Structure 1
């Protein structure tokens, strides 16, 4: 039993150690090591690298075993070594692919390595972005939940005021139910936020592998430098992938052109005959004859060249799309930042002042409870809205940084 208990504790220890809240950087580090998408792309790079080793190698030699000129009719039909024609032959042949074709194959396979590496970098970028967004969403959902808890505490104070006024006869009995009605509405919102927190935590768990994924209180600074991002767009994994595909298309074009140069095969054979006759040796060369290039090789070259042109145009279109998307995202980020500043400097302070004045008026008997509660709810909504705007600004920054600023492989 002791051994079983110790084994169970040791098995649970890693998850217990991971149960501590993680920072954004820690979540990203875990995602880079735990996400299966990245391990899958890494296997793709390994496969492309292995395939490139044999790209420019000659084909394997071929062994030729044969019985030649065996009689099937006449007086010697079905008999070995009764005439001077039947031979037992053993031979070997080696195909020599022209050097231009071998170089083109090597270039194509190395371009495929670049494509695989770019796909790995894009997958890493996607995982980091999704992990960061899940962290941000979980972080601010928890903060919004705390705001609702604070509103609950304020309702307790308001309930005490209502009870005192009821005791003095300054309030109607029905007014005692109004704080409870508001508390019921808050409970509905709390249920929604609790579900969102569970969803965001599940998303964070998906990438980090931590079943108890949680966030720390502090959010690291997220500075967005539009000029620096524009200057580094060419190094984005997405565009590097298009560059690699363009190189692969050029290599395919070179391979098609190399088909106009002949390959040749060298072969040698030894033929054993009836002992009364001498053995024979055969040596020869077989050469491809690309004599009809206009109908065979040239159309393939034109097709591959068109594919290469399409790859370059796709790359140009992708670059323009990225530039336009960055400009649009920066504009949205500026708008959300201005809206957040407006909420912090004007909307929330005004709502807080109004709620304070209305509560004072209610305490003095100059305002009905419904209006005071509405002001309190308006303040809570303003604070929650400010948090939502802050979360949107953080999401914008994360999306911009991890979409346009992640250039590492």
Structure 2
């Protein structure tokens, strides 16, 4: 169907002509949509990989939870840096409960109505240590967020690539089915004219049935891939996908892996946990110095007796500091060593995983080059040669269909390899952040807690 738009030569002014032109194109778009000449999905903005990553990060409740945890820890850091609340004491002391003056506040000389105020004075160093511990916990929450963000971006990228390559597979199979249906129609026409055997007709129908079976499988996988992408990006996952990024390069270098692995989010999280463990050990060290409490009390007696003022000080007696405070400090220092050992083991494991990922990714790139340069061209040339031989009556239709199926299978296998390569590329690209947060740096070994003597 052809739609022709015409206009008189002596038309309206230029600006009015532009308005008419825009209106005409709008009408044309509506007409084409109503006639099914334009796919509605073509009018939607495409979902690129970067847009999917941004959408997944914006709607992640897990990342917001870690932000809330960091804010909570920082609020506690402020609270911990303050002195304890003072204690107000109201009392009636030495109130008689027997005799003629029972329950009297004035008859008994020893009866006093008292109001007192007590304050515990925590040393500034101890309050600073407690505050620093919560600050380090806030950093650990942000390091946890970095770890979760890396995993989120990797999983979103994998889901994006999964849907993209399944759509490519579906399109390839649909093209193969259309070609096979065309061949089948020609064979059946030749059979009705007595120029082709029934076996060729049945072979063509069987080939279509096999393609339909594979289409069912790919469509089911594609539905799952779409649902997985929507799990990460929400309604944006229903948009058509944009062009994929290049997956043949990565910023990671083989010779710098030992340095890059130190920026791994999991290693950064272990560094932050070491900061927390060291801050907790510092708190335990400060607890070896007891807090003193001071109090003042004003006592009022009967009118014939004088008022009294009491002053007091409370000092905790750490009689068994070796068996208690020193032991607690020793336990905290052992926890620091535990975190360090776990980090080192994790570093070795991640270094191996990174080396394996790089090896697999590079091997897959070489395989893709072999498919592009050798395997697919050979399969295509063989199919074309057999088609030419079939037209000349020198081979069977079964051989032609088998050769064309081999072309499709080879192309599908290349798509599977590229899909796996893209998944490995996503793991490498989003595994390690480009910038290293301050809390991700391991503490310097010169920290005085590292040399704290063990009891």
TM-score (normalizing by structure 2): 0.82
State how far apart, in whole Å, the 2-side matches of 1:407 and 1:213 are: 32
Trace 1:95-134 onto structure 2 (pairs within 5 A): 95-134=120-159
* 1:145 match: secondary structure: helix
Q: Summarize deviations over 1:38-89 as a string: whole Å, max 9, x none.
A: 2222222221222211122111111101111111234433332111101111
Cα offset, 1:167, TM superposition: 4.1
Aligned CA distance change for structure 1 residues 17 and 286 (closer, same or farther; 3 Å) = farther
Partner in structure 1 of residue 105 of structure 2: 80
CA 1:156–1:353 in structure 2 vs 1: closer, same or farther (change >3 Å)?
same
Alpha-carbon spacing, 1:165–1:408, altered in 2? closer, same or farther (3 Å): farther
TM-superposed deviation, 1:177:
2.3
The ranges of structure 1 where at least 4 consecutive aligned residues each deviate by more than 4 angstroms after the TM superposition are 16-19, 405-409
Quote the offset at 1:152 in angstroms. Answer: 1.4
Q: What is the CA–CA distance in structure 1 between the aligned matches of 2:154 and 2:210, rounded to whole Å?
A: 34
| Aligned residue in 2 for 1:346 | 374
Q: How far apart are the structure 2 equivalents of 1:85 and 1:213?
A: 84
Contact 1:236 1:407 in 2 (8 A): no
Unaligned regions of 5+ residues in structure 2, if any?
A: 1-40, 438-455
**Could you tell me how far 1:364 is from its partner in structure 2?**
2.0
1:309-388 → structure 2 map (5 Å cutoff): 309-388=337-416
**Which of 261, 266, 278 pairs up with 1:238?**
266
The answer to whether residue 63 in structure 2 is matched with residue 35 in structure 1 is no
Q: Name 1:7's counterpart in structure 2.
A: none
- Inter-partner Cα distance in structure 2 for 1:170 and 1:90: 118
Q: What are the within-5 Å matches in structure 2 for residues 134-145 of structure 1?
A: 134-145=159-170
1:226 aligns with 2:255: no
Partner of 2:179: 154
What's the offset of the Cα at 1:384?
0.8
SS of alignment partner, residue 95 of structure 1: strand
What does residue 12 of structure 1 align with? none
- Cα pair 1:264 1:287 within 8 Å, conserved: yes
**Do the aligned partners of 2:143 and 2:268 also contact (CA within 8 Å) in 1?**
yes
Give the C-alpha shift of residue 287 in structure 1.
1.3
Deviations 1:353-407, CA, capped at 9 Å, x for gaps: 1211222222222222222211111111101111111111111111111113454
Aligned-partner Cα distance in 1 for 2:112–2:42: 78
Corresponding residue number in structure 1 for 2:32 = none
Per-residue deviation, 1:17: 12
RMSD after superposition: 2.1
Q: Show CA shifts across 1:286-337 (max 9, x none).
A: 1122121112111111111100110111121222222111111101111211
Q: Following the alignment from structure 1 to structure 2, what is the Cα–Cα distance between the partners of residues 60 and 19? A: 61
How many residues of Structure 1 are paired with residues of Structure 2 in the alignment?
394
**CA shift for structure 1 position 213:** 2.5
Tell me the equivalent position of 2:35: none
User: Which residue of structure 2 aligns with residue 4 of structure 1?
Assistant: none
Tell me which residue corresponds to 2:447. Answer: none
Distance 1:294 1:288 in 2: 15
Secondary structure at the aligned position of 1:26 is classed as helix
Q: 2:214 aligns with which of 189, 208, 217?
A: 189
Equivalent position SS for 1:269 = strand
Counterpart pick for 1:267 among 260, 270, 295: 295
The 3-state SS of whatever aligns with 1:82 is coil
State how far apart, in whole Å, the 2-side matches of 1:136 and 1:250 are.
Answer: 42
